[in-house]
């Protein structure tokens, strides 16, 4: 079992919790449940490490590059852990680990220049971006490695130190990369603790944290934000989504169906910015349902270690119970399962890829974030009405438009209330592009220079070159 990393060394506990393999439904190992003392030690170590870490930018860049290489060198082992703890198939796990290495390398190379606003005989005025201090970071179970490095790479690059906690459902890959990076980063720069929501609450409220960076549900994000507000901690909150895809009346259904399907069923539907509801023009409705159902029916569900498997199990028991419950409620209310609809009768958390038709807004499967392999298809008559319905939600993470005419698609995409709107694709993200949610989907963005600025605070340095004393300039 990998251990926690506190001040550059391994930290075990007397209390451990089970980690379940979703492909079997059985515990296969345990992970440490951090004590309050350990969380305090981790924050103290981060605070002690901060002055030296922030002082030398070139050293930080070099360390991030070394960290990137170390993650890459251990990518197979990390992917294997991900498969075992989350049920991801090899391609989904293999997609995630390079994110870590890539984000570290990207931020190592990104500049954080001072801006000179004025430089004349009266004054020199500069704007400096200084690190915030110690950052508390909390991550979910659906992309434990990738989402952690959306935070670690920019935070460390900007000169902050960190205490990070993964989800109790998938702690092992995070604990393991903490061990790998122990040999590279100075003690205290990156501390990893594990445990349940209680440990997350300690992090969000810790007096030594000057910022909390959280990815997870809207409900937990609200709690983190309220706690962080008490001593004005800065926050970045990356929360849930209920992304709509609108098909325009000119769309070639056969052409878009596979891309549409995988934009909803990537990682078994367990990612924040995936298509979670489809609005189709009424005259194409049955074609769309039929085409998506055909892809669903032909998708191989099974053991995630089998190379022919396209979708493995869902990652957690509560998640499969929730998704099956949403589908059951929809079907008992008159909706139809055009494909799938049921939990698969075998050990582990397997569900049939499910396409639900004859369903309308107002049904929980449409209005809420299902975060699983069940996609509702809703008919519309007027495009304006479809746009209004897509926007009629507190979520605002992503949205997409599918059309034969990208110019028209872009026009519709701009009318959608979402942090990212795509045309003829969905969930395409990269290190250079800001990603964040509107409305209840979050506060602030990750990635790109904006994701780096989020781990800094502005300081103005004003050098008066005139008569010492009050200056009008
Ligand atoms: P979750 O909110 O239940 O848990 C996320 C993390 O927060 C876990 O580590 C958990 O232990 C901790 N936590 C829970 N309650 C807390 C509290 N009150 N204070 C502090 N920490 C707390 O979410 P989850 O089920 O692990 O993940 C799924 C959710 O994450 C979905 O809603 C999904 O949309 C969202 N998500 C968002 C993004 C994004 O970038 N916007 C990315 C991935 C997932």
Q: Tell me the three-class secondary structure of the chain, residue by residue.
A: CCCEEECCEEECCCCEEEEEECCCCEEEEEEECCCHHHHHHHHHHHHHHHHHHHHCHHHHHHHHHHHHHHHHHCHHHHHHHHHHHHCCCHHHHHHHHHHHHHHHHHHHHCCCCCEEEEECCCEEEEEEEEECCEEEEECCCCCHHHHHHHHHHHHHHCCCEEEEECCCCCCHHHHHHHHHHHCCCCCCCEEECCCCHHHHHHHHCCCCCCEEEEECCHHHHHHHHHHHHCCCCEEEEECCCCEEEEECCCCCHHHHHHHHHHHHHHHHHCCCCCEEEEEEEHHHHHHHHHHHHHHHHCCCECCCCCCCCCECCCCCHHHHHHHHHHHHHHHHCCCEEEECCCECCCCCCCECCEEEECCCCCCHHHHCCCCCCEEEEEEECCHHHHHHHHHCCCCCCEEEEECCCHHHHHHHHHCCCCCEEEECCCCCCCCCCCECCCHHHEECCECHHHHHHCCEEEEEEEEECCCCCCCCC
pLDDT value of residue 472: 64
Cα angle 10, 14, 17 (rounded to 5 degrees) comes to 90
Ligand 1 pocket member 171 (CB < 6 A)? no
Distance from residue 54's CA to the centre of ligand 1 (Å): 29
Ligand 1 pocket member 427 (CB < 6 A)? no
Give the whole-angstrom CA distance, residue 148 versus residue 146. Answer: 5
CB 188 within 8 A of CB 164: no
Ligand 1 pocket member 272 (CB < 6 A)? yes
pLDDT value of residue 249: 98
Give the whole-angstrom CA distance, residue 69 versus residue 104. Answer: 9
Q: How many CA atoms lie within 13 A of 131 on its CB side?
A: 23
The pairing of beta strand 398-402 with beta strand 420-423: parallel
pLDDT value of residue 369: 98
> Measuring from atom 42 of ligand 1, which residue has the nearest CA?
272
**Catalytic annotation, pick one of 33, 84, 85, 238:** 238
Give the phi and the psi of residue 63 in degrees, each rounded to 5: -70, -40
Ligand 1 pocket member 17 (CB < 6 A)? no
**Catalytic annotation, pick one of 272, 352, 369, 446:** 272
* CB neighbour burial string for 15-47, b if at least 16 within 10 angstroms, e if fewer: eebebbbbbbeeeeeebbbbbeebbbbbbbbbb
Ligand 1: atom nearest CA of 150 is: 40
Distance from residue 399's CA to the centre of ligand 1 (Å): 21
pLDDT value of residue 1: 82
Distance from residue 219's CA to the centre of ligand 1 (Å): 8
> Measuring from atom 43 of ligand 1, which residue has the nearest CA?
272
Residues 160-197 have pLDDT tens digits of 999 999 999 999 999 999 999 999 999 999 999 999 99
Ligand 1 pocket member 142 (CB < 6 A)? yes
Distance from residue 216's CA to the centre of ligand 1 (Å): 2
Ligand 1 pocket member 24 (CB < 6 A)? no
Ligand 1 pocket member 275 (CB < 6 A)? no
The residue whose CB lies within 8 Å of the most ligand 1 atoms, and thus the one to mutate among 96, 216, 349, is 216
Is pTM, for the whole model, over 0.85? yes
Ligand 1 pocket member 437 (CB < 6 A)? yes
Kindly report the length of the chain: 473
Give the whole-angstrom CA distance, residue 271 versus residue 275. Answer: 9
Ligand 1 pocket member 77 (CB < 6 A)? no
Q: Is 369 a catalytic residue?
A: no
Ligand 1: atom nearest CA of 219 is: 2
Ligand 1 pocket member 33 (CB < 6 A)? no
CB 208 within 8 A of CB 47: yes
Distance from residue 338's CA to the centre of ligand 1 (Å): 31
Q: How many CA atoms lie within 13 A of 393 on its CB side?
A: 32
Q: Which residues of the chain have pLDDT under 50?
A: none
pLDDT value of residue 76: 97
Give the phi and the psi of residue 429 in degrees, each rounded to 5: -125, 160
Q: Is 126 a catalytic residue?
A: no
Alpha-carbon separation of residue 144 from 18, 72, 171, 375, 462 (angstroms): 17, 16, 8, 24, 43
Ligand 1: atom nearest CA of 221 is: 2
Cα angle 387, 393, 399 (rounded to 5 degrees) comes to 50
Distance from residue 257's CA to the centre of ligand 1 (Å): 30
Distance from residue 197's CA to the centre of ligand 1 (Å): 9
Ligand 1 pocket member 241 (CB < 6 A)? yes
Handedness of CA 165, 167, 173, 176 (dihedral sign): positive
CB 148 within 8 A of CB 174: yes
């Amino acid at each position: 079992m990998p251990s926690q990393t506190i001040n550059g060394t391994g930290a075990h506990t007397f209390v451990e919790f089970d980690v379940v393999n979703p492909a079997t439904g059985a515990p296969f190992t345990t992970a440490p449940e951090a004590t309050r003392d350990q969380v305090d030690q981790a924050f103290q170590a981060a605070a002690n490490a901060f002055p030296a870490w922030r002082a030398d930018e070139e050293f930080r860049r070099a360390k991030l590059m070394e960290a990137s290489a170390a993650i890459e060198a251990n990518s197979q082992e990390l992917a294997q852990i991900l498969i075992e703890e989350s049920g991801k198939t090899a391609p989904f796990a293999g997609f995630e680990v390079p994110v870590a290495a890539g984000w570290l390398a990207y931020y190592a190379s990104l500049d954080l220049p001072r801006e000179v606003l004025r430089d004349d005989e009266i004054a020199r005025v500069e704007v400096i971006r200084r690190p915030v201090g110690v950052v508390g970071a909390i991550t979910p179970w659906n992309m434990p490695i990738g989402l952690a490095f959306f935070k670690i790479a920019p935070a460390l690059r900007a000169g902050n130190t960190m205490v990070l906690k993964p989800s109790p459902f998938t702690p092992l890959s995070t604990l393991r990369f903490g061990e790998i990076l122990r040999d590279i980063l100075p003690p205290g720069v990156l501390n990893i603790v594990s445990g349940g929501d209680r440990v997350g609450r300690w992090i969000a409220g810790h007096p030594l944290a000057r910022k909390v960076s959280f990815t997870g549900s809207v409900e937990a994000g609200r709690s983190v934000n309220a706690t962080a507000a008490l001593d004005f901690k800065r926050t970045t909150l990356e929360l849930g989504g209920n992304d709509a895809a609108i098909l325009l009346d000119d769309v070639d259904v056969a052409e878009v169906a596979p891309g549409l399907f995988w934009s909803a069923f990537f990682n078994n539907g367990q990612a924040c910015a995936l298509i979670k509801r489809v609005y189709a023009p009424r005259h194409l409705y049955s074609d769309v349902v039929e085409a998506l159902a055909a892809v669903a029916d032909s998708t191989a569900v099974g053991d995630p270690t089998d190379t022919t498997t396209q979708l493995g199990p869902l990652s957690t028991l509560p998640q499969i119970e929730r998704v099956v419950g949403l589908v059951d409620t929809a079907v008992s209310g008159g909706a139809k399962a055009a494909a799938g609809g049921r939990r698969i009768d075998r050990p582990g958390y397997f569900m049939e890829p499910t396409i639900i038709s004859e369903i309308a807004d107002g049904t929980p499967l449409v209005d809420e974030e299902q975060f699983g392999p069940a996609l509702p298809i809703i008919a519309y008559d007027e495009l304006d009405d479809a746009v209004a319905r897509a926007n009629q939600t507190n979520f605002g993470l992503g949205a997409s438009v599918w059309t034969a005419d990208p110019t028209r698609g872009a026009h519709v995409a701009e009318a959608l209330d979402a942090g990212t709107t795509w045309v003829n694709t969905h969930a395409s993200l990269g290190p250079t592009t800001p990603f964040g949610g509107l409305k209840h989907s979050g506060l602030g963005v990750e990635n790109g220079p904006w994701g780096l600025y989020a781990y800094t605070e502005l300081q103005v340095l004003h050098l008066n070159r005139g008569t010492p004393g009050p200056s009008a300039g």
